Amino acid sequence: MCGIIGYTPAETNQGVIDVILDGLSGLEYRGYDSAGVAIADSSVSVFKREGELSELESAVPRDSLDGDAGIGHTRWSTHGPPTDANAHPHTDCHGTVAVAHNGIIENYRALRAELEAAGHEFDSATDTEVIPHLIEIALEQGADAETAFRRAIGQLEGSYAVVAVFSGLEGVYAARHQSPLVVGVGEDGYHIASDVPAFLEHTDRVIYLQDGQFATICPSGVEVTDERGSIVETSVETIAWEPEDAGKSGYGHYMQKEINEQPRAIRDCIRGRLSDLDGTVSIDELGGVGRPSAVHFVACGTSYHASLYAARLFRDRGVPAMAFHASEYDADAVPLDNEALVVGVTQSGETADTLSALRGANRAGAETLSVTNVVGSSASREADHVMYIRAGPEISVAATKTFASQQVALAMLSDALTDASSRGSVEALRALPDQIQSILDDSRARESADTYADADAYFFIGRGYGAPVALEGALKMKEITYKHAEGFPAGELKHGPLALVNERTPVVAVVSGESKSEKMLGNVKEVEARGAPVIAVTDSAGEVQSDVDDILRVPQTKPRFMPILANVQLQLLSYWTAHRLGRSIDKPRNLAKSVTVE
């Protein structure tokens, strides 16, 4: 949550404000209820505004504002409502230092009380504002800027990514602990940000900071040090993403673009991992991982739904497997032997609850694996093994192509670790990109959305492999339409939800002709008898034609892959419903892309 950007050019006064504002635009998916910038030269100029980034852009005098270094922040509120005063960056009493911060300072109340008792005045309700005042005290005690910054960071408890600029200094000072920061090494200057899209148009060369590390970027280069101040040798990696990957490419919304990128994303996910000759799946990153005695998946939100799907795959191959909400996972309370595998599924690789669950599993002695999209992320470093889903940058808050890529990656994982793959399975996996493209080309989801956009609520049902994707379909609908939506296994209808079904509650049923179709058809008839319209997402339209009001077709595939295809229709249904209702599709209210606090 929240986005940080910092920049210092190789030559002073070279478009700092433009780079900072453009960087914030690339990070707006991480928070968009307020934003601010601080530009440092002989003084520090700060501009902050409640609302989306456009409010800040209209308030900043681009033509007359520039300097030696700058920082910016786009906020997703935790401490204090979205207001101009609570927006970052925050300054000390004299305005000589400005700070932006992601995370939670757990001891800020005690620090603030001490600072106020010493005469410091606060303008906001945020936890962040204690940091510039702590720096101010160290400066008054004679410390230089870097030492003052370190002293302040040393007093913080909690999670943080912090950047600071000082009047009269050219550099940006940064530190991270359990909140991501990545340095961009460019020809024209140096960047630091929460995520790569903030500076991707300027450079694809990056240094990932690790917990406990400090970084200083200045016109002469980058210096990374540890908590003791010792120089840390770092490697510069090259990101495979292209700048246009983070743009809309002519689509109306990032979400629409990313839905349409799913064929390409899945091709990248399976590339080099399938053998047509012997029908096997081979994942090079998993060298040394054998068949586990049990698998625990830990995840949040959309990734949790992918984990439910994966757990079913493993159980059907004879391996005990469960999916846990990462925030509820207690490795000490769940039996784990030395052959068990704990899999953290996280798109960003920075999801705080998932990282906490992985750390608990590591302490308990379990083998750990991260399934993530971001190279160099915290999850990729903290687990024993990592499998990348290769979906490319995803900007819309509502996950689409990353969910599809997670499904495919986890399907391959189950085949690889249980030796259950076959030529038929490999062929079905290879066919998925073209099958998804056919759905994108022919879907009637927009017509269905127009028909049912005024509904009071939506229910999504499925059985077997279809149950997790029903949950995901409901999540997408509620995220971007703000309509009430529920997803559950179809067999649960009679155990409560049926009381809510009426003619204004469409029921979206995931119906596979090869998997429990008779029971699903019985559930369809139950809701039909209560007057509810039924939309079937199905690979066997002929079997359900007479029992439903609308059909969204998917191609025939193996039953365990059918939900991957069905998911695309559900995404389109939610997207076009939100479009019809005029919602903020890429930036739904109260939500942010990467949840980096517990």
Q: Answer for the pair 464, 489: CB distance below 8 angstroms, yes or no.
A: no
Beta-strand pair 280-281/274-275: antiparallel
Q: Hey, what are 527's tokens?
A: 């809701």
- Phi, then psi, of 522 in degrees rounded to 5: -65, -40
What's the one-letter identity of residue 457? A
Beta bridge partners of 322: 296
CB neighbour burial string for 68-81, b if at least 16 within 10 angstroms, e if fewer: bbbbbbbbbbbebe
HSE-CB of 270 using CA atoms within 13 angstroms: 25
Instruction: Give me the active site residues, please.
Output: 2, 593
Where does residue 250 fall: left (phi above 0), alpha (psi -120 to 50 degrees), or beta otherwise?
left
Beta bridge partners of 6: 71, 192
DSSP 3-state of 318: coil
| Chain centroid, CA 261 distance in Å | 17
Measure the CA–CA gap between 436 and 563, rounded to whole angstroms: 11
Output the 3-class SS for 67-122: CCEEEEEEECCCCCCCCCCCCCCEECCCCCEEEEEEEEECCHHHHHHHHHHCCCCC
* CA distances for 566 relative to 329, 405, 435, 459, 575, angstroms: 29, 14, 11, 15, 14
Measure the CA–CA gap between 304 and 282, rounded to whole angstroms: 24
DSSP 3-state of 503: coil
DSSP 3-state of 245: helix
Instruction: From 443, 487, 506, 483, select the one nearest 578 (Cα to Cα).
Output: 483
Check residue 512 and report its DSSP letter.
B
Q: Hey, what are 322's tokens?
A: 């469960």
* Surface-to-core class of residue 437, CB atoms within 10 Å of its CB (0-12 exposed, 13-18 middle, 19+ buried): middle
| Chain centroid, CA 41 distance in Å | 35
Residues 6+ apart with CB under 8 A from 460: 470, 471, 473, 474, 477, 485, 486, 487, 488, 507, 508, 509, 510, 570
